[in-house]
Every structure is written in C-alpha cells, then in structure tokens.
Amino acid sequence: MRKLRWLRAPGIFKLLLPNFVWRYNTNHKKVYLTFDDGPIPESTLWTLDMLRGKNVKASFFCVGDNVRKYPDLYRKIIEEGHVVGNHTFNHLKGWGNNTQKYIENVIMASEYIDSKLFRPPYGQIKRSQAKHLLPEYKIIMWDVLSGDYRQDISPEECLNAVLKKVRTGSIILFHNNVKSEKNMRYAVPHLIDALLAEEYSFELCH
C-alpha cells in the first residue's frame, strides 16, 4: 500500500500548538468524525443520509461561502443533530495570507455559521492568527487525516490507512468536496461499521 504521509499529525505540531484540540482525552472508546469544506449538494446530502441510516453524529466544518449558497443544507446539518464549525469564508490558507485578511475572512464566515469551533483550512494557521482567534474559538485540528482527497490512492487504501491509525479519542478528518467524494463515500460507511463493531461510540466535537 502507498504510504500516506502525515496521516497522523506530527508530534512537533502538537508541541508548538498546545492550545489546539488534536485529540480528545478520554479513557472510553470514543471517536470524533469530522467533515470539512461543505456544505455542497454533491457530497453533504449523501453524507447526512448515510449518517442518519447508521444513527451516527458528526461535526461539519463549513466554508462560509458554501453556507451562503446552500443555506438549506446548512440548516439540515443542524436539524439532524450534528455540530457545525467555522472553516473560513473562502477556504483561506493561513500561511499565505496576512493576519488581518485571515481574521476578516473568519468573521465574514461567522455571519453565516453560528459556532465557536474553528478549523483552519489545510491545517495552516499562523501564531498571530491563532492568537486573535483563541479568545473566541476552540481550534479543532485532527488526530487522523483520511487522505480522501488524494487521487493516487484507492478507496480501500484510504479506509485501511485510517483503520490502522484510529485510536481512543481520535478526531478523524474527511471532506465534503468533489475531489474527495469517491474515497469518502467508500471509506466512511465502512469505517463506521468497523468501529461500531469494536464498540466505539461517535461523539461530537466540543
């Protein structure tokens, strides 16, 4: 199987950014399923239907402009008992933008997304940007990155890589975007079934 680099966030990141949530501290068999980049009709509706069928809740880190375009989808996420988080308005890279522009983009997203949870797109955020956000937001990163967006791996490889890395308290990151759809649609339901069989529960980010 091709190696998925950075499937689990390097420990040095966690040491440098200790105020971020990388994994939940629990002795119970709990995991936290998350989806970035939605809501979009192509992926989010399918994701919600699948989660409902399996009686599982998840956390959706939404792009503000997508919420603006698809407000009914956003409301549906909340109505079905899932949690939402801010993922900037334009899926902005923190490292490539100055702090003022980045914070303004987060604020713009907050006009559409009612949440005190935030996840930086691409995991990229400067310390100066985080300093501005941490008083208002809990910054949720991840313990297991699925790599579902990669075009050089198969859906089976995506699933197996996540299964090898998941552990108690893991925050697992998938995507609701077109590029990730093939791998995500295969991996997520199989992952849920496998973890439920191992008596894991699926919890919401908080």
Kindly list the catalytic residues. 36, 175
- HSE-up (13 A, CA, CB side) for residue 46: 15
Q: Where do the DSSP E strands lie in 130-191?
A: 138-139, 144-145, 171-175
Q: What are phi and psi of 175, to 5 degrees?
A: -130, 150
Question: What is the SS3 assignment for 198?
Answer: coil
Candidates 14, 33, 15; CA nearest to 187 is 33
Candidates 18, 27, 6; CA nearest to 169 is 27
Contacts of 68 (CB under 8 A, 6+ apart): 112
